[in-house]
Structure 1
Amino acid sequence: MVKAIRIHKIGGPEVLQFEDITLPAPGPGELLVKNRAIGLNFIDTYFRSGLYPVPQMPFVPGNEGAGEVLAVGPNVTEFKPGDRVAYVATLGSYAQERVVAAASVVALPDAVSFEAAASMMLKGLTAEYLLHRTYKVKSGDTILVHAAAGGTGLILCQWGKALGATVIGTVGSQEKADLARAHGADHTILYREENFPARVKELTGGKLCGVVYDGVGKDTFLPSLDCLRPFGVLASFGNASGPVEPFNLGLLGPKGSLYVTRPTLFTHIASRATMVEMAKNLFDTVASGKVKVPVNATFALADAANAHRALEGRGTTGSTVLIP
């Protein structure tokens, strides 16, 4: 018997219940992992609220964590009990322990803490594919990062800067602007006070951006198109303000033959070889000091409801982790 957060009905943070659950023994290709830290992400609120469908009720939310292997199932050769690991996987991480597919797990170097790993598997691997696969950022590029002071945003700013790009970030307050600049943003735009497309045009001397990384969704999607140079890419990877509404595809032509994509991490990591390659790139970059993953808040697992309230109320910066 272990403690976990379970959801019996969709709704607000109040539906997160701290309960006892019984876990099965790990089956073929599975591991039993003792969580030392659990990542908190906007996608957790999407499942809780019903924006994203869940396979069954009740369910344990959460997609990422880090800890130690307690037991391995049949046919697992890559891991053994005692190994330090991190994972991004299907639902189930908001628990003291969980059974997880070995294919979703990567070895965790000693140089990376459990807290950092738990807070960056989803956000860091998302930044990895956005910067290296969705639009391959190179020296001399100008990129726009929405929610630049958020968990993924701070990684995108630092990593984009390390790749030689000029980084513009949108933020909601002066405090968040200072944080984004401290993590690599060359320019910040207070989106509540400034017209961000006009400001981007001004900052770039009319040249605009090669790519916009947009995890905000509904509120930023259409104005983001006006921030792109011809053949630019709008990578819409999240819905913090709500899902993007249907739009006229014909807009993309006169605005510069633009590309719009809705990538997901799980498509990228469906290939084990790609996942391991992405994780190595991420861990090496963090270990080198080029990217720091700030864990700016921790909550006890039992206090997950307040963690969700803080996240949805824009009361968090950087990454937040739950401690079992």
Structure 2
Amino acid sequence: MRAIVVSATGGPEALTYTDDHPDPEVNPGDVLVDVAASGVNFIDVYHRMGRYPLSLPFVPGEEGAGTVAAVGEDVRDVAVGDTVAWSSVPGSYASRTAVPASKLLAVPEGVTAEVAAAVTLQGLTAHYLTHSTYEVKEGDDVLVHAAAGGMGLLLTQIAKLRGARVIGTVSTEEKEILARQAGADEVFRYQGFADAVRELTGSGVHVVYDGVGAATFDESIASLRPRGMMALYGQASGPVPPIDPQILARNGSLFLTRPTLGSYIATRDELAWRASDLYGWVASGQLRVHISERYPLAEAARAHEDLEARRTTGKVLLIP
């Protein structure tokens, strides 16, 4: 089968394409899927770099969608020919992958396989951030960093569905247009955004959703109102250095959390709830999925280069 393999961690050049990789084993409880599209996410970059170590060699990618080709023993609710999607399952940068049936999500009518591959991991993340990490309420002020990226566009739309005023940060005028089209009420550049946020809101925002990390952390803290929540869900600009917890006291008894998706889809019921909401919004048109780039699987290195250089907006897919 066609696949991307990482034999040694490093830069984008570590993503090596092959067209004769062995098909994955289908163990009891697994489902073999012909991959229609794989989502590209920053966690794939962290795995490639070794920041989040995996055993070498490995096939990267944790998100995708496609058609069921075969089912293993003990699989009951999935049939050959079904359209399915998944997230948080390694091995998605390939033309075929084996996925535990417990992790599979049925893709409903009205949602294409490509859209499912584009929305599942980031959409589930946006759902838990806005519904569980900090439950966004009507009238809340919400700050979303990288508001024109795949995560930012989804966070903006879902926070608006819950009645929030959304403030976004972006780096260019083009990205500002995309953020506003997604529903952002105000959009600022990164330079000095904390002062702009406090001038706009008076007391600061209720929650900051920050996937940027080191470059935005200090100003994110300064953007919060007393007892506000800092949800640091990523580190695209690098990890945040160690901090003195007293910074939370000095800025108004703040809350700081570093959530991950796995903790919020730990049970099948929770995964099903989040996916049902997510796919329902997509099918009804309440949530728009912006796919900015589709790369052939063999060009995975270029996809990573563009993602890391912030040359992309919305979601990036690999097509095997």
Indicate whether the TM-score tops 0.5.
yes
> Could you tell me how far 1:63 is from its partner in structure 2?
0.2
Query: Which residue, 231, 234, 241 being the options, matches 1:235?
Result: 231
1:216 matched to 2:249: no
CA 1:224–1:280 in 2, change beyond 3 Å: closer, same or farther?
same
Q: Unaligned regions of 5+ residues in structure 1, if any?
A: none
Amino acid at match of 2:114: E
How far 1:142 sits from its partner (Å)? 0.5
1:182 aligned partner: 181
Aligned to 1:143: 142
Q: Indicate the residue corresponding to 1:115 in structure 2.
A: 114
Displacement over 4 Å in runs of 4+: none
Counterpart in the other structure of 2:259: 263
How far the C-alpha of 1:58 sits from its partner, in A, is 0.8
Q: Given residue 246 of structure 1, which amino acid in structure 2 is its aligned partner?
A: P
Question: Which one-letter code corresponds to 2:32 in the other structure?
Answer: L
Asked whether 1:308 is paired with 2:267, we answer no
Residue 79 of structure 1 is matched in structure 2 by: 78
Counterpart of 1:48?
Answer: 48
- AA of the residue aligned to 2:180: R
State the Cα deviation string for residues 16-54 of structure 1 (Å, max 9, x = none): 111121124411111001100110111111000111111
Q: TM-score if structure 2 supplies the norm length?
A: 0.98
Structure 1 SS opposite 2:3: strand
Residues 89 and 100, structure 1, Cα contact 8 Å, conserved in 2? no
The 2-side partners of 1:158 and 1:274 are apart by 21
CA–CA distance in 1 between the matches of 2:267 and 2:245?
31
Residue 282 of structure 1 aligns with which residue? 278
Cross-structure match for 1:246: 242
Aligned residue number for residue 4 of structure 2: 5
* CA distance, structure 1, for counterparts of residue 227 and residue 172 of structure 2: 31
Please show how residues 50-199 of structure 1 align to structure 2 within 5 Å: 50-54=50-54, 56-191=55-190, 194-199=191-196
Determine the C-alpha separation between the residues in 2 that align with 1:24 and 1:233: 42
Deviation at 1:89, TM superposition (A): 2.7
Deviation at 1:90, TM superposition (A): 2.6
Percentage of identical aligned residues: 50
Corresponding residue pairs, total: 319
AA paired with 1:260? Answer: L
The 1-side partners of 2:249 and 2:26 are apart by 52
Q: 2:313 corresponds to which residue? A: 317
Determine the C-alpha separation between the residues in 2 that align with 1:31 and 1:51. Answer: 29
> Is the Cα–Cα contact under 8 Å of residues 25 and 73 in structure 1 kept in the other structure?
no
Give the Cα–Cα distance (whole angstroms) in 2 for the partners of residues 279 and 88 of structure 1. Answer: 11
Q: Provide the rounded CA distance (Å) in 1 between the counterparts of 2:157 and 2:248.
A: 29
Compute the TM-score of the two structures, normalised by the length of structure 1. 0.97
